Amino acid sequence: MCGIAGFAAPALTPGTQPAVITGMLSRIRHRGPDEAGYYLDDGMAMGTVRLAIVDLASGAQPMSDSTERYWICFNGELYNHIELREELTALGRQFRTRSDTEVVLQAWIQWGQACLSRFNGAFAFAVRDAVAGDLFIARDRYGKRPLFYADRPDGFLFASEMKAFRAFPGFSFALDPHELKSIYGIWTPLPDRTPFKGVRQLPPGSLLTLRGGRVELHTYEELAVDAPPFTGTPAEAAALVRDTLRTSVEVRLRSDVEVGVYLSGGLDSSIVARLATDLSSHEVRTFSVEFEDRALDESSAQHEVARYLGTRHSSIAISTADVVENFPAAVHHAEVPVFRTALVPMYLLSRHVRDAGIKTILSGEGADEAFLGYSLFRETMLRADWHRLTAEERRERIAVLHPELAHFGPEHQVHVSGLLSQFAEERLDGLFSHELRYQNGRFVQRLLKDREDPFADLLALVRDTPGYAALSPTQKAQWLEFKTLLAGYLLSSQGERMGLAHGVENRCPFLDPAVVRAAALVNLRYDDGWEEKAVLKEAFRDVLPAEPLTRRKQPYRAPGSTAFREHRPDYLELVRSEHELAQIDGIDPRFAKRLVDKVLADGGAEVSTKEDHAFIHLLSTAVLNRQFVMDRGDEMRIPQAAEMNLTTVIDRRHGSPLLAGGQR
């Protein structure tokens, strides 16, 4: 794990460069509190804050090859580092450490950018070629680790979190109304975007080269959700899923520190916990959230699974007041407007895990995307087949479509039928599966002054993606979920950024390339989409308790906008005052005020889902505006340089000899 940051800015005053790189690293120190280091040469700097997990003793960064031509700053984990090390050793490459970071560097030297497709891991890294003067930055295929950049006239900046850029002289943040429009429409930035002007992120599966001051972006791996139908028997399909997941968990248990497991009580995390207990020689520790609000709480299911598996279980009880109080801090780490408060419990859970002495955790993220777990997929199948189904078949399917939504219940069958019939034809080219959901976005657009099309950029993305048009409606739905909400929201705002806020690394066994490929092979062959995750259940039916196998999926929920009605924190002034709202670029203060008044009405007016999402979007935007644009708010204390535990400082500027400044 860790965080990385750096810049290429030849014109930056030499005397300030160490302070600038240290300042950038200090702002992301929460990601890697164990040690820090940086490398400087003529015109560029890069550094790492390290969370030591593999090779605690000799894995310090930045790290070089023996010639000191290539230098690397690495954030993440390479799960297949042992196999790649053997392969590289056989090719004659020599290693000085046991770390996966060195394997990445040697693979880069051996294979160049072709190494990226060989990596099974969660990573973002920077490699400096000190002879050619090139800089490369790359990100893993599913976007598990973040990497942001800003290409400016005065320099190229990159970092694991945008907040690091604040340390660069003259840098300031400004919200981008165009991006807000897109975020409000699809609940997350597009893979290469952020909410801020001039700041981009490296899309999952891509590599950026900085050569001669010019940026080149290259996709090294496209997401594949389609595959030829699996030809084996149902038992063989289940065995394939079981075996690939077992191997995935096995390599994700590789660590020099203890690995825990998040346990929600649902199928996915139960499978991960089951495999972790099978593969560990010691008692596995599991962690979960309990909600004060019983309607949201799933603790009984969690305890049942923990008892069955014999894990050492620990949970943190979270009240609605906790969610309200910690919302600004969680948004500060997420760095993006959010539509739900669900990130806050994850923020508090990771703190609990860290307090328990654990800094690496396995989670079930990615299972719903890979194995068609969301009701969105069933809805897509139903709408796509609408005109082919009989009235009776429609009724049967509507009855199990969205069991968690009361307004989809049996008493509303007629209206649901009318609603779905309107969405049986594609309206947005290529976005059929998500059209009903995107209606919510259209309401949230009303928070903005400008009525520009919120889906234009997404439509362009799918239009320009090779192979997308040939996918089935369900596969398009999967592709959209992987590319938008998974990387942009679940893995980041609920996972990576909330974990690393407290120095906890999450690992996702369902997001192993072999598992995603196996899912693509068996989906829709042995799973018609109506029995939720049928193949996955079949694969683990005999080794799990009844609860996660029999109950329908419970969407992970947290208290919504009415929590702010009940608790009314001081910072609500951000959205209660038209003057404050007018400070947010692009927001229509008049409509925003109307929405806020309804949501916070003293009498307890009914708040719909779209109003709930709009309110949380607005509040989180206002919080971000205060923290990033106005540079106010005290959610995070920035460590001073002296507190940074800088163990590695490499200064090679002005043709100074190798290792000038030295390892100290």
Partner 1 sequence: MTRTEKIVRFIEEQFLIEFGDEVTPQSDLFKDGVIDSYGYIQLMSFLEEEFSLEIAAEEFLMDVPATLDALDAFVARKQGV
For the chain, how are helix, strand and coil distributed in percent, rounded to 5? 45, 15, 35
| Between 73 and 595, CB nearer to partner 1 | 595
Q: Which stretch binds partner 1 (CB under 8 A): 232-240, 292-300, 472-480, 589-597?
A: 589-597
The contact mask relative to partner 1 for 411-430 (x = CB under 8 A, - = no) is -xxxxxxxx-xx----x---
Q: Tell me the CA distances in angstroms from 472 to 381, 384, 431, 477, one per residue in order.
A: 10, 10, 11, 9
Under DSSP, the state recorded for 655 is G
Measure the CA–CA gap between 218 and 209, rounded to whole angstroms: 8
Q: Tell me the CA distances in angstroms from 444 to 363, 440, 611, one per residue in order.
A: 31, 7, 8
Single out the residue of 95, 111, 443, 556 in contact with partner 1 (rule: CB under 8 A).
443
- What token pair was written down for 398? 């509507």
- Asked if 557 is part of the footprint of partner 1 (rule: CB under 8 A), the reply reads no
- What token pair was written down for 269? 């995390």
Shortest CB 588 distance to partner 1, Å: 12
Q: Which stretch binds partner 1 (CB under 8 A): 108-116, 285-293, 347-355, 409-417?
A: 409-417
Element (H, E) at 72: strand 70-78
Measure the CA–CA gap between 431 and 513, rounded to whole angstroms: 25
- What token pair was written down for 443? 């309401």
Single out the residue of 277, 363, 380, 445 in contact with partner 1 (rule: CB under 8 A).
445
Shortest CB 530 distance to partner 1, Å: 20
Query: Which parts of 470-523 fold into alpha helices (H)?
Result: 473-480, 497-500, 513-522
Q: Tell me the CA distances in angstroms from 315 to 105, 286, 509, 570, one per residue in order.
A: 39, 8, 22, 29
Single out the residue of 58, 66, 609, 656 in contact with partner 1 (rule: CB under 8 A).
609
| Between 390 and 550, CB nearer to partner 1 | 390
Measure the CA–CA gap between 116 and 518, rounded to whole angstroms: 20
Q: Are 256 and 522 in contact (CB under 8 A)?
A: no
| Between 69 and 598, CB nearer to partner 1 | 598
How many chain residues bind partner 1 (CB under 8 A)?
A: 34
Shortest CA distance to 642 belongs to which of 14, 22, 210, 216?
22
Considering only residues 360 to 379 of the shown chain, the ones binding partner 1 according to CB under 8 A are: none
Element (H, E) at 566: helix 562-567
Please check if 364 is assigned to a binding site.
yes
Single out the residue of 143, 441, 499, 589 in contact with partner 1 (rule: CB under 8 A).
441
Shortest CB 446 distance to partner 1, Å: 6
- Asked if 404 is part of the footprint of partner 1 (rule: CB under 8 A), the reply reads no
DSSP string, 148-188: EEEEETTEEEEESSGGGGGGSTT----B-HHHHHHHHHHSS
- Asked if 439 is part of the footprint of partner 1 (rule: CB under 8 A), the reply reads yes
Three-state DSSP class for residue 38: strand
Single out the residue of 69, 442, 517, 553 in contact with partner 1 (rule: CB under 8 A).
442
Question: Which listed residue (2, 73, 115, 508) is catalytic?
Answer: 2
- Asked if 592 is part of the footprint of partner 1 (rule: CB under 8 A), the reply reads no
Query: Which parts of 27-128 fold into alpha helices (H)?
Result: 81-90, 100-111
Measure the CA–CA gap between 487 and 202, rounded to whole angstroms: 11
- Asked if 598 is part of the footprint of partner 1 (rule: CB under 8 A), the reply reads yes
Single out the residue of 229, 404, 594, 643 in contact with partner 1 (rule: CB under 8 A).
594
Shortest CB 623 distance to partner 1, Å: 23
| Between 145 and 613, CB nearer to partner 1 | 613
Cis peptide before 62 (omega within 30 of 0): yes
Angle at 237 between CA 535 and CA 363, to 5 degrees: 55
| Between 430 and 633, CB nearer to partner 1 | 430
Does residue 2 have an active-site annotation? Answer: yes
Q: Which stretch binds partner 1 (CB under 8 A): 143-151, 242-250, 285-293, 404-412?
A: 404-412
Query: Which parts of 310-358 fold into alpha helices (H)?
Result: 320-334, 343-355
| Between 229 and 418, CB nearer to partner 1 | 418
| Between 8 and 420, CB nearer to partner 1 | 420
Shortest CB 385 distance to partner 1, Å: 15
| Between 413 and 472, CB nearer to partner 1 | 413
Which amino acid, 378? R
- Asked if 22 is part of the footprint of partner 1 (rule: CB under 8 A), the reply reads no
- Asked if 391 is part of the footprint of partner 1 (rule: CB under 8 A), the reply reads yes
Q: Which stretch binds partner 1 (CB under 8 A): 472-480, 514-522, 594-602, 624-632?
A: 594-602
- Asked if 69 is part of the footprint of partner 1 (rule: CB under 8 A), the reply reads no
Shortest CB 421 distance to partner 1, Å: 5
| Between 419 and 471, CB nearer to partner 1 | 419
Q: Are 571 and 634 in contact (CB under 8 A)?
A: no
- Asked if 576 is part of the footprint of partner 1 (rule: CB under 8 A), the reply reads no
Shortest CB 432 distance to partner 1, Å: 15
Single out the residue of 289, 595, 600, 622 in contact with partner 1 (rule: CB under 8 A).
595
Three-state DSSP class for residue 121: strand
Look at the block and give the residue holding tokens 């018609």: 528
Please check if 289 is assigned to a binding site.
yes
- What token pair was written down for 308? 């069955």
Shortest CB 380 distance to partner 1, Å: 14
Please check if 315 is assigned to a binding site.
no
Shortest CA distance to 641 belongs to which of 23, 162, 34?
23
Q: Residue 305, Cα to own-chain centre: how many angstroms?
A: 26
Shortest CB 610 distance to partner 1, Å: 5
Shortest CB 482 distance to partner 1, Å: 24
| Between 184 and 540, CB nearer to partner 1 | 184
Q: Which stretch binds partner 1 (CB under 8 A): 118-126, 260-268, 334-342, 444-452?
A: 444-452
- What token pair was written down for 124? 């973002």
Question: Could you give the count of Cα atoms lying within 13 Å of 422 in the half-sphere of its Cβ?
Answer: 8
Which amino acid, 208? L
Phi-psi category of 400—alpha, beta or left, where left has phi over 0 and alpha has psi -120 to 50? Answer: alpha
- Asked if 610 is part of the footprint of partner 1 (rule: CB under 8 A), the reply reads yes
Look at the block and give the residue holding tokens 């009701």: 375
- Asked if 456 is part of the footprint of partner 1 (rule: CB under 8 A), the reply reads no
Q: Which stretch binds partner 1 (CB under 8 A): 49-57, 77-85, 208-216, 438-446?
A: 438-446
Please check if 363 is assigned to a binding site.
yes
Inter-axis angle of helices 473-480 and 375-384, nearest 10:
150
- Asked if 433 is part of the footprint of partner 1 (rule: CB under 8 A), the reply reads no
- Asked if 590 is part of the footprint of partner 1 (rule: CB under 8 A), the reply reads no
| Between 295 and 391, CB nearer to partner 1 | 391
Q: Are 223 and 370 in contact (CB under 8 A)?
A: no
Residues belonging to the binding site for ATP are 289, 363-364
Q: Please state the residue numbers annotated as binding site for L-glutamine.
A: 100
Catalytic residue set = 2
- The residues that touch partner 1, with contacts defined as CB under 8 A, are 391, 394-395, 405, 407-408, 412-419, 421-422, 427, 436, 439-446, 591, 594-595, 598, 608-611
